[in-house]
Amino acid sequence: MAELTIDMTYGTALYEAARDTGKTEIIMEEASEVLGILLQEPDLYDFINYPAISAAEKKHAIENIFGGKICDELLNFMCILIDKSRTMHFERIVKVYKKLLDKEEGISYGTVYSVIPLTDEHIKELEDETSRLLKANVRLTNEIDPRLIGGIRILVEGKLIDASVRKKFDDLESRIRLNQGG
């Protein structure tokens, strides 16, 4: 639970600083790039998280690697994480930042369930239709659900749009039972 608080606190602080400087998109892009490098280079990730290495050495290395390649605000933020021994939270902090940025931009994420993989074009059409229906900017990922029989189900922030064959069968079964009981 404390980790969630750390992630939220630092992610929110980074977002607010980025918003105040008008660099929300730049910092999101650069933070994602830095995160990608840290994940691709486990030795660097281990180095900045190793407690026996001084904060000064870590900051010097980070400044040498990223100085001039990322904005000063993000570089300073990384130095703060080093000073506070919070670098191991960087990935989750970036996720919190992204959620805050998406919320500010009105983006909602959801999943479209189908029996077979959908094309990017079909997903885009479903995003457009769902966005109009929910009055939000919806981004969908596709997951396979063989129990559907056919059709699709879309789940966005707790809202379900069920256009599956299974749903139609269930509805039909309910109507038949109602008619038999009446």
The pLDDT, as a whole number, for residue 2 is 60
Beta strands, E only, the chain: 107-114, 137-144, 151-156, 159-164
- Read off the pLDDT of each residue in 117-139 and give the average, rounded to a whole number: 92
User: Each residue of 20-35: pLDDT tens digit?
Assistant: 999 999 999 999 999 9
pLDDT class of 181 with cuts at 50, 70, 90: low
Mean pLDDT of the chain: 90
Q: Which three-class secondary structure state does DSSP give residue 148?
A: helix
* 36-94 tens-digit pLDDT: 999 999 999 999 999 999 999 999 999 999 999 999 999 999 999 999 999 999 999 99
CA nearest neighbour of 81 among 2, 7, 26:
7
Q: Which long-range contacts (CB under 8 A, 24 or more apart) does 50-54 make?
A: 51/85
Q: Check residue 74 and give its pLDDT.
A: 96
Question: Lowest-pLDDT range, 8-17, 28-37, 146-155?
Answer: 146-155
Question: Cα–Cα distance between 76 and 70 in angstroms, integer?
Answer: 10
> What DSSP element (H or E) covers 116?
none
Round to whole Å and give the CA distance between 178 and 56. Answer: 74
Looking at residue 98, its amino acid is K
- The residue ranking higher by pLDDT, 171 or 139, is 139
Bridge-based pairing of strands 107-114 and 151-156 is: antiparallel
End-to-end Cα distance, the chain:
53
Q: So what's the pLDDT on residue 1? A: 52
